[in-house]
């Protein structure tokens, strides 16, 4: 629809500037993550990297991050065997997240690669989640588990997420492909 290599798009959370890279992938500046509990929003006495969260009689260590929408990210040993549907549904409506939350389950492959599954608030588990990938990488970097450039593998595809640390924007790079075409008669 355009010959430009960079455009500006208005979203509900503000204007973003997708940029077409030489290899055909698209990079989007997702903005700086929100880490203060009140900004997420998340009920906590103080800001921390890891918060214990009691869910259905079990305690999970989560990181709370907002990329314009709230995320609770936890590290799991194996995303394939983890009960994402049940634990994600319980975390989504946890009272410490007054606007509900997306629950991310991150498996560390190495310092530059993770596997991720996300249970999105109001939708259930999704094939991919760009803000979830950003929140997971931010969480992993803050925990000291990941480097500043990470390949995120989801059921729906792969993204590269780059973050230089607090106050800096998160850059998300991945393919832009047509996933649906249709017509509607009004």
What pLDDT, on a 0 to 100 scale, did the predictor assign at position 73?
Answer: 98
Domain annotation for the chain: domains and CATH numbers: 32-160 (3.10.310.10)
CB 74 within 8 A of CB 145: no
pLDDT per residue rounded down to tens, the chain (186 residues): 677 888 788 876 677 778 888 888 999 999 999 999 999 999 999 999 999 999 989 999 999 999 999 999 999 999 999 999 999 999 999 999 999 999 999 999 999 999 999 999 999 999 999 999 999 999 999 999 999 999 999 999 999 999 999 999 999 999 988 878 999 999
Helix or strand or coil: residue 64?
Answer: strand
What pLDDT, on a 0 to 100 scale, did the predictor assign at position 24?
Answer: 84
Helix or strand or coil: residue 84?
Answer: helix
Q: Which residues of 61-77 are buried (b: 16+ CB within 10 A; e: fewer)?
A: ebbbbbbebbbbbbbbe
Task: Give the CA-trace dihedral at 50, 127, 69, 7, to 10 degrees.
Answer: 130
d(CA 12, CA 50): 29
Closest by Cα among 14, 13, 18 to 2 = 18
Helix or strand or coil: residue 38?
Answer: helix
The vertex-160 CA angle with 137 and 166, nearest 5°, equals 40
pTM over 0.85? The answer is: yes
CA pseudo-torsion sign 156, 160, 163, 168: negative
Neighbours of 112 (CB within 10 A): 12
What pLDDT, on a 0 to 100 scale, did the predictor assign at position 154?
Answer: 97
What pLDDT, on a 0 to 100 scale, did the predictor assign at position 13?
Answer: 66
| Tokens representing residue 155 in the block | 């059921």
Q: Cα 64 vs. chain centroid, distance in angstroms?
A: 11
What pLDDT, on a 0 to 100 scale, did the predictor assign at position 11?
Answer: 74
| Tokens representing residue 146 in the block | 């990941």
CB 34 within 8 A of CB 28: no
């Amino acid at each position: 629809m355009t010959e430009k290599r960079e455009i500006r798009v208005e979203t509900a959370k503000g204007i973003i500037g997708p940029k077409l890279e030489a290899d055909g992938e698209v990079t989007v500046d997702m903005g700086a993550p929100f880490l203060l509990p009140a900004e997420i929003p998340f009920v906590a006495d103080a800001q921390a990297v890891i918060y214990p969260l009691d869910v259905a009689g079990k305690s999970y260590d989560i990181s709370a991050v907002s990329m314009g929408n709230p995320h609770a990210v936890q590290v799991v040993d194996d995303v394939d065997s983890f009960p994402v549907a049940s634990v994600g549904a319980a975390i989504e409506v946890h009272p410490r997240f007054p606007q509900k939350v997306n629950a991310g389950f991150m498996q560390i492959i190495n310092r530059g690669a993770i596997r991720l599954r996300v249970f999105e608030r109001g939708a259930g588990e999704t094939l991919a989640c760009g803000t979830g990938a950003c929140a997971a990488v931010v969480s992993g970097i803050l925990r000291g588990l990941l480097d500043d450039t990470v390949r995120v593998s989801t059921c729906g595809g792969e993204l590269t997420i780059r973050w230089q640390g607090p106050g800096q924007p998160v850059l998300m790079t991945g393919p832009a492909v047509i996933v649906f075409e249709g017509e509607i008669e009004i």
